Amino acid sequence: MILLWYILIPAAAAPLAWLLSRSQPQVARWVAVGGTALPLALVTWQWVSEAGALRAAFTAHGPGAAGLVQGTWLAHVHAAWISPLGISFFLAEDGLTLIMLVLTFAMGLLAVIASWRGITERVGFFHFMILWTTAALAGVFLSLDLFLFYFFFEMMLIPMYFVIALWGHERRVYAAVKFFIFTQASGLLMLIAILALYFIHGRATGTYTFDFTQLLGTRMPSATAFLLMLGFFAAFAVKLPVFPLHTWLPDAHTEAPTAGSVILAGVLIKIGAYGMIRFMVPLFPQATFDFRTVAMILAVIGIIYGAVMAYAQRDLKRLVAYTSVSHMGFVLLGIFAWNTLALQGVVLQIVCHALSTGALFILVGTLQDRIHTRDMTKMGGLWAIAPRMGGTAMFFALASLGLPGLGNFVAEFLILLGTWQVSKWAAVLGALGLVFATVYALWMMQRAFQGEETHALRFHDLVPRETGMYAALIAALVVLGFYPQPLIATARQTVTAVQQITAGTPLSSQANVAAQLIVAAGETQAEAIVADRAPTDGER
Amino acid sequence: MTTGDLITLLPLIVLTAAPVVVMLAAAFYRSHTLALALTLVGLAATIVSLFIAATRTSRQVTPLLSFDTYALFYIGLLSAATAAVAILSWNYLQRRHVHPEEYYMLLLTATLGGAVLVASTHFASFFLGLEILSVSLYALVVYPIYRAQFVEAAVKYLVLAGSTSAFLVFGMALVYAETGTMTVSGLAPILSAGLGGPDVVVALGVVLLLVGVGFKLAVVPFHMWTPDVYQGAPAPVGAYVATVSKGAVFALLLRYFRPVSLDPGSTLFLVFAAVAIASMVAGNLLALRQDNVKRILAYSSIAHLGYLLVAFLATGERAAIAVTFYLVAYFATTLAAFGVVAALSTPARDAESIDDYRGLSRRRRWTATALTVALFSLAGMPLTIGFFGKFYVVTAGAGAALWALIIVLVLTSTVGLYYYTRIVVAMWVRQPDESADTVGAAVDGGSAAVLAALTAFLIVFGVYPAPLIQLIERAVSTLP
Distance in Å, alpha carbon of A121 to nearest chain B alpha carbon: 11
Mean pLDDT by 10 residues, chain A (540 residues): 89 88 84 92 88 64 46 78 87 88 93 86 88 94 92 90 88 89 90 92 89 87 91 92 89 90 92 92 89 92 92 90 92 90 91 92 88 84 85 91 88 91 89 90 88 78 87 91 87 81 68 48 41 40
Q: Is the Cβ pair B428, A162 closer than 8 Å? A: yes
Q: Name every residue in B having a CB less than 8 A away from some CB of A.
A: 376, 381-383, 387, 391, 394-395, 398-399, 403, 406-407, 410-411, 413-414, 417-418, 421, 425, 428-430, 464-466, 469-470, 473
Q: Is the Cβ pair B398, A195 closer than 8 Å? A: yes
* Predicted confidence band of residue B78 (pLDDT cuts 50, 70, 90): very high
Q: Is the Cβ pair B469, A165 closer than 8 Å? A: no
Q: Which residue of A has its CA nearest to B424?
A: A162
Q: Which residue of A has its CA nearest to B430?
A: A166
Q: Is the Cβ pair B421, A198 closer than 8 Å? A: no
Chain B interface, mutation test: which of A122, A180, A255, most B Cβ atoms within 10 Å?
A180
Q: Is the predicted pLDDT of residue B301 greater than 90, yes or no?
A: yes
Q: Which residue has the higher pLDDT, A373 or B334?
A: B334
Q: Is the predicted pLDDT of residue B435 greater than 80, yes or no?
A: no
Distance in Å, alpha carbon of B44 to nearest chain A alpha carbon: 30
Residues in chain A within 8 Å Cβ distance of B395: 85, 195, 198
Please name the member of A165, A189, A195 whose beta carbon is closest to the beta carbon of B395: A195
pLDDT of residue A67: 46
Residues in chain A within 8 Å Cβ distance of B376: 158
Distance in Å, alpha carbon of A433 to nearest chain B alpha carbon: 35
* Least-confidence region, from A332-346, A425-439, B75-89, B140-154: B140-154
ipTM for the complex shown: 0.87
Please name the member of B383, B418, B430 whose beta carbon is closest to the beta carbon of A177: B418
SS3 A237: helix
Asked if A227 has any chain B CB less than 8 Å from its own CB, the reply is no
Q: Is the Cβ pair A198, B398 closer than 8 Å? A: yes
Q: Is the Cβ pair A192, B464 closer than 8 Å? A: no
Please name the member of A172, A177, A192 whose beta carbon is closest to the beta carbon of B410: A192
Q: Is the predicted pLDDT of residue B160 greater than 80, yes or no?
A: yes
Q: Is the Cβ pair B421, A82 closer than 8 Å? A: no
Question: Can you tell me the mean pLDDT for B219-232?
Answer: 88
Q: Is the predicted pLDDT of residue B268 greater than 70, yes or no?
A: yes
pLDDT of residue B432: 66
pLDDT of residue A92: 87
Taking CB atoms and an 8 Å cut-off, how many pairs form between chains A and B?
A: 77
Question: What is the H or E stretch that residue A81 is in?
Answer: strand A75-82
Q: Is the Cβ pair B425, A173 closer than 8 Å? A: yes
Distance in Å, alpha carbon of B379 to nearest chain A alpha carbon: 10
Q: Is the Cβ pair B429, A165 closer than 8 Å? A: yes
Chain A interface, mutation test: which of B366, B421, B430, most A Cβ atoms within 10 Å?
B421
Do strands A75-82 and B65-66 pair parallel, antiparallel, or not at all (unpaired)? Answer: unpaired
Asked if residue B122 lies in contact with residue B184, where contact means CB atoms within 8 angstroms, the answer is yes
Q: Is the Cβ pair A188, B399 closer than 8 Å? A: no
Distance in Å, alpha carbon of B355 to nearest chain A alpha carbon: 16
Residue B379's contacts (CB-CB under 8 Å, 6 or more residues apart) are B386, B413, B416, B417, B420, B421
pLDDT of residue B438: 61
Q: Which residue of A has its CA nearest to B391?
A: A191
* Predicted confidence band of residue B434 (pLDDT cuts 50, 70, 90): low
A 124-163 residues with CB below 8 A of B? 147, 151-152, 154-155, 157-158, 161-162
Q: Is the Cβ pair B429, A166 closer than 8 Å? A: yes
pLDDT of residue A538: 39
Residues in chain A within 8 Å Cβ distance of B391: 147, 191
pLDDT of residue A517: 47
Q: Which residue of A has its CA nearest to B373?
A: A158
Please name the member of A83, A181, A199 whose beta carbon is closest to the beta carbon of B414: A181
Question: Can you tell me the mean pLDDT for B189-203?
Answer: 78
C-alpha–C-alpha distance, residues B112 and A90, integer Å: 45
Residues in chain B within 8 Å Cβ distance of A199: 398-399
Torsion of the alpha carbons at B19, B22, B24 and B30, rounded to the nearest 10: -150
Q: Which residue of A has its CA nearest to B401?
A: A196
